[in-house]
Chain A
């Protein structure tokens, strides 16, 4: 089955800096990779996703890159703001299963 590893588990950056979170997956059949943001007391919210036929996708300050050969994908947040502080989860999805990474707690210091 699919196994998703996510690094780092915690990340602290200064406001305005960039943050990068990386995930690796094991199942080469995985073809859909969403990223979720979970704020305290709330459920995970989809922030961006990418499919295996695309190498990069960007939405304002958030971008995701996918390297199918290496089986890893990354979330990039530029110009971080305090409201970006949350736990971020990656997920990898084949047609039968979706597995989540363990999460990254991002803290943006003002």
Chain B
């Protein structure tokens, strides 16, 4: 069974731009969670989607948004990029909820200049 895939793997943007990241979960998994990982803050939960609905949300500004499609694939969008948004963005999928075992993708490394 294929693992979680994320595209693109690397991205360079400038301040003020917006970016869209994509995540394809493991086949059969309906929950997709997004995390931001930085050296200083560790793994920070962004939001979780289940059956196309946002089920939980972390403490991030409204510039961070996401959605999930009927095939469980998910996208996250960051608008008006700031330098501090530079991070590794990780997607994780699980069968039911994110309180179950989560399987992570390789991440998208975003650099904001």
List residues of A whose CB falls within 8 A of some B CB.
Answer: 32, 34, 36, 41-46, 49, 89, 93-98, 100-103
Once the chains bind, are B90 and A95 in contact (CB under 8 Å)? Answer: no
Please name the residue on chain B nearest to A42 by beta carbon: B106
B107 shortest CB reach to chain A, Å: 5
For chain B, which range describes its interface: under 10, 10 to 19, 20 to 34, or 35 or more residues?
10 to 19
Q: Flag the segment in B60-68, B71-79, B94-102 that touches A.
A: B94-102
B106 contacts A97, CB within 8 Å?
no
Q: Are B101 and A49 in contact (CB under 8 A)?
A: yes
The answer to whether B11 has its CB under 8 Å from any CB of chain A is no
Residues of A within 8 A of B103 (CB): 46
* 11 pairs, A vs B, C-beta closer than 8 Å: A34-B101, A36-B104, A41-B106, A42-B106, A44-B43, A46-B101, A46-B102, A49-B101, A94-B99, A96-B56, A97-B56
Measured in the bound complex, the distance between the Cα atoms of B99 and A32 in whole Å is 8
- Chain B residues, CB < 8 A from A94: 99
Question: Of B6, B42, B99, which one neighbours A95 at CB under 8 angstroms?
Answer: B99
**Chain B: residues with CB nearer than 8 A to chain A?**
4, 6, 42-43, 45, 56, 90, 92, 97-107
Known contacts: A42-B106, A43-B90, A43-B106. The answer to whether A100 contacts B42 by CB under 8 A is yes
B residues in contact with A46, CB < 8 Å: 101-103
> For B105, what are the chain A residues with a Cβ–Cβ distance below 8 Å?
43
From known contacts A43-B90, A96-B99, A98-B99, infer whether A89 and B43 are also in contact, taking CB-CB under 8 Å.
Answer: yes
Determine how close the nearest CB of chain A comes to the CB of B33; give it in whole angstroms: 8
Q: Specify which chain B residues have a CB less than 8 angstroms from the CB of A98 in the assembled complex.
A: 45, 98-99, 102
Enumerate chain B residues within 8 angstroms of A44, measured Cβ to Cβ.
43, 90, 104
